[in-house]
Structure 1
Amino acid sequence: MAVDTSTRSKLDRRTLLIGGGVGIGLVVAWAAWPRTYLPNLTPAPGESLFGAWLKIGTDGHVTVAVPQCEEGQGVYTALPQIIADELGADWKMVGVEPAPLNPLYANPLAAEELFAAALGPLPEALRRAHIRRSGLMLTGASTSIRNFEGELRHAGAAARVLLAKAAAKRWGVDWKAVGTFNGLVYQGSQKLGFGALAAEAADQSLPDDVPLRTGEGPGLFGQPLPRLDAPPKIDGSANFAADIRLPDMVYASIRQGPAGETGLVKVDRAAANRIRGMLAVVTTDDWVAAVADNWWAADRAIDAMRPRFKTPEPVINSDSIEQALSAAFDAEGRRMAEAGDLSAQFRGAQLVAAEYRVGLALHAPLEPMTATAVHRDGRLTLWLPTQAPGLARAAAARAAGLGEGSVILHPTMAGGSFGAKLETDAAAQAALLAMRIGRPVQLTWSRGEDFRRDRFRPAAAGRMAARLDPQKQLTGWLAKIAAPSTGRELAGRLLRGAAIPGIGLALSGSDPGAVAGAVPPYAIPNLAVDHHPAEIGVPTGYWRSGAHSYTCFFTESFLDELAHVAEQDALSFRMAMLGGQPRLARCLQTVAQLGGWQGGQPGSGQGIACHSFRGSHIAVLAEAQLTGDRRVKVERLVAAVDCGRMVNPDLVMQQIEGGLLFGLAGAVGSSTGFTENVADVRDITELRLPTLADCPDITVELIRNNEEPGGASELAVPPVAPAIANALQAATGVRFRRLPLLSDME
């Protein structure tokens, strides 16, 4: 577990509280000190600026600043759609651009989710002040709509009011009688386009209370509008990091050492120089890069150099990871959640118990780590896809030895991420290469390097125990989870040097993110969840849905086993405990009806699972079997989803369908073993990902309501694996308790 020990040694609970709480008083006073941030969005010629979120041109086009990374999830459509709806814009005239770095675009929901171990122990005022003042712009944890909807709606409403006031001044009417629709401002028979009024509107003043639309009449919210990023992706005009071309640019490939404390020992520079197009070799203590006039030559040169690194201690292998998980259970765990009196419930009772395990999982997006950097006139400029632009800029500045004010970062679209592009290594490496070479450099990790140096979804184990009373009611539940403290590791790595997160890490040694999702949604009167931190020696990071990807597997698989012991239908067993969760219960009922649930009878090949998180609810029914060559064949996936009111139902459908397939990939593959501190997987063909021929028939029902929006991009991932495992139990009579499925039979 990587924690900034220097910060921790200086900031512990005793040091912080010494002197009657003076330390806490100082940081709380800092949090309360007022700060004002001004927009730094730049209008182009002919555009008028309307705050931090949008610009309107004289031709009527509306450009929306999006502070989130577009990695395929649709934020370049959903966020502008909120503004366009409130503004009354013509969708054909709406465009987007990445928002500049500014505290106004900070994402506290994502920060509190991703860095809960560091920020959670802090007082809310201090936590929120740090997130805003450090400008933590983050994409992750299904927070884009949940965090920004209110601000975007207010921004659209404010621009609408300003346009109405400008028109009212021309027409000599009350601005409250003026409306907007489809890019026009109107009052009675009078109407003007947005562009004709934009300059005048920008000079108007806002009332104290900006009215939002009432929802009456036609609007864009809730409509399946076409994606704004689709046309440029189709015609090739969309810029990804690998598309950047600069005068005199060179290309770099990199080889980094194995996991653990290592160092570069030897490279064969002469062999590299024999590669045509080769220009330079750059080394640090941790990595070596080849620079050439084309990337293919650079990557061949890396192989030709045959870099040798010091073998770290201890040696990490697949067996040592398994042993570390088992050893974690021998130490006392941290009680993370509890209800009732579990000890009394378990005392002298016959318990049902089972153990589950999941392996390391790779992110494996189509786009590997890529960054372009150039250093000119004391200023460093970077282009890269990033879920954390401020943190990437800080990492690049440290590597280049520059102040952050001397670094400009241009975020590009990402070809997938799933959490991988929260990391900042490529930004720092490209920055250092640009400084060393003195020319623009485009660094691209090879596919093998992307796998070798991934920040993996951690391996984890769950020891589950439960009591069924004589009436077969579930009265006691204990989940003991052995997993790395990935949240502390992530915070220590990405927020290093920041004093406030250092205080949070010192105040609490726990990591709530390591067991996120482990508290069942069911009405169980006595329960407890314990975290047993495991030192597996492998760098871990955030993976789509985080710990929910394994805690849901533990919970929903064990629920199915308990239903079998109780001799009850798995659906009825769950429904009986969901009286306090009507939305999740409706998802279960809906998916059972859609999927033709047969009660999970032996031979049916049907399994069911459900999950709730981040304000959303989902149930999944799977039909699966084992083939003659011992492969898992998933024939059908049916999902019922309640994620509250939807900005764009087509985007939600895409995310749910994509999440189901991502969950399927995690159930049958996407994993790697480890040999002598290096991941075994080198190529995407070794991940055993489902192909088009393997894809099941998919049915998704979106349950419509007007509840607050919940997360959608990660929602479908957690319940897929347990639904498939439960289906295989029904098909074969064998319970599979390890992910990837069948990996314990190899």
Structure 2
Amino acid sequence: MTMIGRRTVLVGGGAGLGLVVAWGLWPRDYAPGLTVGPDERAFGAWLKIGRDGHVTVAVPQAEHGQGVYTTLPQIVADELGADWRTVAVTPAPVHPLYANPLGLDELFEHGFDAVPASWRGEWATRNAAMVTAASSSIRMFEGPAREAAAAARALLIQAAARRWDADWADCATEAGFVTHAGKRLRFAELVDDAVRETVPDPLPIGVQGAGALMGKAVPRLDAPSKVDGSANFTADIRLPDMVHVAVRQGPIGSKLVGIDRAAARRVPGVVEVIETDDWVAVAAATWWTAKRALDASRPRFASEGPAPSTASIAAALDAALKDDGRSVAAVGDIEAGLSAGQAVSATYRVAPMVHGGIETPGAVAAYRDDRLEIWAQTQAPARARAVAAAAADLPESRVTVHAMMIGGSFGAALAHDAVAQAARIAMQLKRPVNLMWSRGEALLHDYYRAPAVAAMSARLGANGAVLGWRAKIAAPATGGALAERLVPGLPRRMLRETYATGGAVPPYRVAALAVDHHRADIGVPTGHVRGGAHGASCFFNECFVDELARAAGVEPLSFRIGMLGGEPRLARCLSTAASLGGWEGGVPDSGQGIAAHGFRGSYIAVMAEARMGPGGRPVVERLVAAVDCGRMVNPDVVRQQIEGGLIFGLASAIGAATGFAGGLATARGFDRLVLPRLADSPDITVEFVASDEPPGGVGELAVPPVAPAIANALYASGGFRIRTLPLHGAP
């Protein structure tokens, strides 16, 4: 990315344009895109201050429950010295300044590392590659947001110091005021004068009143509107002359061959029936009317080839495991490492998993004045704009995307099928449309977490040391498929398929290691689900480590810590979780299991207490988690994410999966997903390990280790090993 120094500062004024500050983040070729009102002043790309004193922070990341509408504004308010009670948030516009190359790098598990980092960053900037993924929000944007706030604070302080004839270096900010020697002026009184000031070089970061809010559990900005129902989601959008749309898609790989249009038309309130090769939709006065008409139309789909099924998926994975794989990681001489010592092997399986967010996919589209507007649940607004433009046959410059809050995405909003459908229908009808998928449609046409099979083998020395470790993992090439949908402009030849085996390299020190990916073509679309492939890889690794410890006759916690010489933060998490949970060594009938994982710059250990209940369904009575995620912006938000991740991990351990029959998922509603209910929720304890390390990701952190901790606990409870996800019954 081309940068400019803080010496080259562009300052412009005026009631309509506001104050524009260009600092180190600002490339020369990009003008600011933040919209300001007549009584507001914009301070660069991140914040604006009104003449009434309110501070509005532009957030480029999607809010889907993870708290980014609080944490990023908190960073800005902390550095600015603002009063939290006056802080508001607005979605940032699609703009190159908000590109997130870190999120893309980590989402694809650094599969594009063959492309120089500078080129990847430039590509992300030029394409306004805004993406909410890979727990990257704070790690990517804390620096730019803090610099923006520091620049704004310096300008406000300079304006106040000029009035007082004081040295601006002796002034400070506090709770929305600039202060000096007992005097104070509100931000609101200073914004117009600040236009005439100059950003200092270097920026005074972390001084003059900054730091009052960092690490504090300030109230979430999105909570009040979500509690009282005033928060707007995509389904809530209402526009004049709007119609509501229900859509039906056929089995995987099928085409629409016929519908009963007359039957659909006979339903009162129907406006239009829209047919394409891949789907049929009905527009009507209400969504329920559209759904009734869609049912009456009885759409018929046909497939030319065999449709995917649970059996065909399993066969494809098993066949791939027999073929030559591609090396993902190699350490030492694996053949020598596996040639002597006690042999241990196991095969693990993970079923396809759904997203299952409360809000189903949908979009609102309106074509007027030769422009298309889209309101959408999206984690990649620039990509949503491109998809809408292609569907509407319009240039992207004539498409505006309004990024909405999302009711629990878990990665589903990285896809934009509903956006394309809404755009196409709006262009055809020439009136606004509100398109929402039904729950069944969302489950039948998901981009599922990939199923996988892992053949694990190892050799143990006489002292219990792991001499060799080999993991052969059969899984579809989800990274390549995700790249086709999300970043089609990046050259595919540069992508290594590392997503499919994300997290497969264990954190433990072993003499020889080999991890191979065996690509499986399963005929089912796969995508990113919270935690990615780490949810499967951690299950494979942590269950296998538990089996190795048992085979070596070593207590499982001590076995792990003994191999963690290079990961002291993970070792501390393990010992903390064990201490808090009253770890008894995982002895028979204890019902205790433990697992650990580290990624996105954070570390976690989970101890579970579980037993097998009636009908072969696990009963999880307790989860204890110890977390080292570095510095925390807002401890309450971090705790919410860890607790939510533990429950999400519990769901993936006991359910949230689907089979396939006739090219369709067998899960058609929440009742078929075996999700944990309130009565199933265990007692949860979360302990944070104090750390001064940079903030790590927390949105996905707690998901991967829950399932293996429960599986290991079930072994300690009943003496049998379950090697499949979801966990159910005896082997």
Q: 2:159 maps to what in 1?
A: 166
Distance 1:310 1:438 in 2: 31
Deviates more, 1:323-332 or 1:84-93: 323-332
| Among candidates 352, 367, 372, match of residue 360 of structure 1 | 352
Q: Does 1:714 align with 2:700?
A: yes
Q: Which structure is higher in helix share?
A: 1
Distance 1:218 1:153, change over 3 A: closer
Q: Does 1:289 align with 2:281?
A: yes
Distance 1:216 1:483 in 2: 52
CA drift at 1:111 = 1.2
SS of corresponding position for 1:450: helix
| Among candidates 686, 702, 706, match of residue 672 of structure 2 | 686
Distance 1:256 1:302, change over 3 A: same
Q: 2:576 maps to what in 1?
A: 590
Opposite residue 271 of structure 1, the aligned amino acid is A
Q: Does 1:224 align with 2:217?
A: yes
Is the 8 Å Cα contact of residues 592 and 610 (structure 2) preserved in structure 1?
A: yes
Q: How does 1:405-554 map to 2 (within 5 A)?
A: 405-496=397-488, 498=489, 501-502=490-491, 505-507=492-494, 510-554=496-540
| Among candidates 358, 370, 381, match of residue 378 of structure 1 | 370
CA drift at 1:45 = 2.1
CA drift at 1:312 = 4.3
Distance 1:333 1:416, change over 3 A: same
Distance 1:125 1:221 in 2: 31
Instruction: Note the alpha carbon deviations across 1:637-691, whole angstroms, 9 max, x for none.
Output: 0000000000000000000000000000000000000001111111111100010
Distance 1:581 1:266, change over 3 A: same
Q: 1:400 maps to what in 2?
A: 392
Distance 2:597 2:473 in 1: 18
Deviates more, 1:675-684 or 1:655-664: 675-684
Distance 1:420 1:218 in 2: 36
Deviates more, 1:212-221 or 1:449-458: 212-221
The root-mean-square deviation of aligned C-alpha atoms, in Å, is 1.3
Q: 1:728 maps to what in 2?
A: 714
Is the 8 Å Cα contact of residues 171 and 208 (structure 2) preserved in structure 1?
A: no
Q: 2:339 maps to what in 1?
A: 347
| Among candidates 70, 73, 76, match of residue 69 of structure 2 | 76
Distance 1:312 1:540 in 2: 21
Q: Does 1:206 align with 2:199?
A: yes
Q: 1:119 maps to what in 2?
A: 112
Q: 1:56 maps to what in 2?
A: 49
Instruction: Note the alpha carbon deviations across 1:607-626, whole angstroms, 9 max, x for none.
Output: 00000101100000000001
Distance 2:154 2:210 in 1: 18
Q: 1:12 maps to what in 2?
A: none
Deviates more, 1:363-372 or 1:348-357: 348-357
Instruction: Note the alpha carbon deviations across 1:245-284, whole angstroms, 9 max, x for none.
Output: 0011000000112112x21101111111122211110011
Opposite residue 657 of structure 2, the aligned amino acid is S
Q: Does 1:189 align with 2:176?
A: no
Opposite residue 567 of structure 2, the aligned amino acid is Q
SS of corresponding position for 2:206: coil
| Among candidates 21, 36, 42, match of residue 29 of structure 2 | 36
Q: Does 1:266 align with 2:252?
A: no
Q: 2:690 maps to what in 1?
A: 704
Distance 1:559 1:618 in 2: 16
Q: 2:641 maps to what in 1?
A: 655
Instruction: Note the alpha carbon deviations across 1:43-93, whole angstroms, 9 max, x for none.
Output: 112111100000001111000000000000000000000000000000000
Distance 1:117 1:708 in 2: 20
Could you list the runs of 5+ residues in structure 1 that have no partner in the other structure? 1-33
Q: 2:17 maps to what in 1?
A: none
Distance 1:118 1:607 in 2: 33
% of aligned pairs identical? 56
Opposite residue 506 of structure 1, the aligned amino acid is R
Q: Does 1:632 align with 2:624?
A: no
Distance 2:729 2:619 in 1: 15
Q: Does 1:315 align with 2:301?
A: no
Could you list the runs of 5+ residues in structure 2 that have no partner in the other structure? 1-26
SS of corresponding position for 1:402: coil
Q: 2:604 maps to what in 1?
A: 618
Distance 1:546 1:266 in 2: 38
Distance 2:672 2:334 in 1: 44
Distance 1:385 1:286 in 2: 22
Q: 1:671 maps to what in 2?
A: 657
Q: Determine which structure has greater relative contact order: mean sequence separation of CA pairs < 8 Å that are 6+ residues apart, divided by chain length.
A: 1
Q: Does 1:149 align with 2:136?
A: no
Is the 8 Å Cα contact of residues 389 and 411 (structure 1) preserved in structure 2?
A: yes
CA drift at 1:36 = 2.1
Q: 1:22 maps to what in 2?
A: none
Deviates more, 1:178-187 or 1:337-346: 337-346
Opposite residue 416 of structure 2, the aligned amino acid is T
Opposite residue 301 of structure 1, the aligned amino acid is A
SS of corresponding position for 2:307: coil
TM-score, reference length from structure 2: 0.95
Opposite residue 333 of structure 1, the aligned amino acid is G
Is the 8 Å Cα contact of residues 69 and 387 (structure 1) preserved in structure 2?
A: yes
Q: 2:7 maps to what in 1?
A: none
Aligned residues: 705
Distance 1:727 1:215 in 2: 52
Is the 8 Å Cα contact of residues 259 and 312 (structure 1) preserved in structure 2?
A: no
Distance 2:507 2:215 in 1: 28
Distance 1:404 1:216 in 2: 43
Opposite residue 39 of structure 2, the aligned amino acid is G
CA drift at 1:175 = 1.1
Q: Does 1:133 align with 2:126?
A: yes
Distance 2:191 2:110 in 1: 46
Distance 1:271 1:292 in 2: 14
| Among candidates 534, 543, 568, match of residue 554 of structure 2 | 568
Distance 1:453 1:561 in 2: 37
Distance 1:507 1:172 in 2: 59
CA drift at 1:217 = 8.0
Distance 1:661 1:265, change over 3 A: same
CA drift at 1:236 = 1.7
SS of corresponding position for 1:351: strand
Distance 1:141 1:50 in 2: 28
Q: 1:390 maps to what in 2?
A: 382
Is the 8 Å Cα contact of residues 117 and 491 (structure 1) preserved in structure 2?
A: no
Distance 2:320 2:535 in 1: 20
CA drift at 1:211 = 1.1
Is the 8 Å Cα contact of residues 40 and 50 (structure 2) preserved in structure 1?
A: yes
Opposite residue 204 of structure 2, the aligned amino acid is P
Opposite residue 278 of structure 2, the aligned amino acid is D
Instruction: Note the alpha carbon deviations across 1:522-547, whole angstroms, 9 max, x for none.
Output: 11121111011111110000010111
CA drift at 1:351 = 1.8
Deviates more, 1:166-175 or 1:363-372: 166-175
Q: 1:609 maps to what in 2?
A: 595
SS of corresponding position for 2:274: strand
